């Protein structure tokens, strides 16, 4: 089983962060993740963000190995605190998915071994003369 290391925020990508539309005071703030998240992890993260939990709920998405937060720069620290919860949720859900996959793999392996044993016994039974 491939081990999964929890994903976390490691810093701000200053060079990527920018204001995409000068008419607004909202920036695309890029937060560096510890590593690029798997596809399913991204789905769990999006699920955790689906229902707003604050009066001001900013758009956040995964882009490569970064989270992009569309917010005012002074809001970023509060957004990070909320994102930590969302990331922890995605980490837990993804880890559970991996455990289920490993259990299925083990079950399939046991079934294959049992089927192999049955074939050996069947072949033996066909060769025996009474």
Q: Would you say residue 66 lies in a domain?
A: yes
- Three-state SS at 62: strand
pTM for the model stands at 0.78
Q: Would you say residue 2 lies in a domain?
A: no
Q: Would you say residue 36 lies in a domain?
A: yes
Cβ neighbours of residue 119 closer than 8 Å, sequence gap 6 or more:
none
Asked if 62 and 37 count as a contact pair (C-beta separation under 8 A), the reply is: yes
Q: Would you say residue 120 lies in a domain?
A: yes
**Adjacent-strand bridge partners of 12:** 31
What is the Cα–Cα distance from 19 to 64, expressed in whole angstroms? 19
Q: Would you say residue 78 lies in a domain?
A: yes
pLDDT in tens, 3-61: 889 999 999 999 999 999 999 999 999 999 999 999 999 999 999 999 888 888 999 99
Asked if 69 and 57 count as a contact pair (C-beta separation under 8 A), the reply is: no
Q: Which of the 8 DSSP states describes residue 36?
A: P
Asked if 90 and 37 count as a contact pair (C-beta separation under 8 A), the reply is: yes
Q: How many domains in the chain?
A: 1
Output the pLDDT for position 55.
Answer: 84
Whether the pLDDT of residue 2 is over 80: the answer is no
Q: Which of the 8 DSSP states describes residue 34?
A: S
Q: What residues make up the domain containing 107?
A: 9-128
Q: Which of the 8 DSSP states describes residue 7?
A: P
Q: Would you say residue 104 lies in a domain?
A: yes
Whether the pLDDT of residue 113 is over 90: the answer is no
- Does an H or E element contain 110, and which? helix 76-127
Q: Would you say residue 41 lies in a domain?
A: yes
- Does an H or E element contain 14, and which? none
Q: Would you say residue 58 lies in a domain?
A: yes
């Amino acid at each position: 089983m491939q081990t999964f290391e929890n994903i976390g925020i490691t810093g701000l990508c200053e060079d990527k962060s920018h204001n995409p539309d000068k008419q607004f005071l909202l920036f695309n703030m890029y937060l560096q993740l510890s590593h690029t998240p798997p596809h399913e992890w991204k789905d769990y993260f999006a699920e955790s963000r689906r229902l707003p939990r604050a009066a001001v709920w900013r758009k956040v998405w995964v882009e490569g190995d970064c989270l992009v937060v569309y917010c005012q720069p002074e809001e970023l620290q509060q957004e990070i605190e909320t994102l930590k919860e969302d990331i922890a949720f995605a980490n837990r859900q993804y880890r559970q998915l991996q455990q289920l996959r490993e259990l299925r793999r083990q079950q399939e392996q046991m079934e294959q071994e049992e089927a192999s044993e049955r074939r050996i016994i069947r072949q033996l039974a066909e060769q025996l003369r009474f």
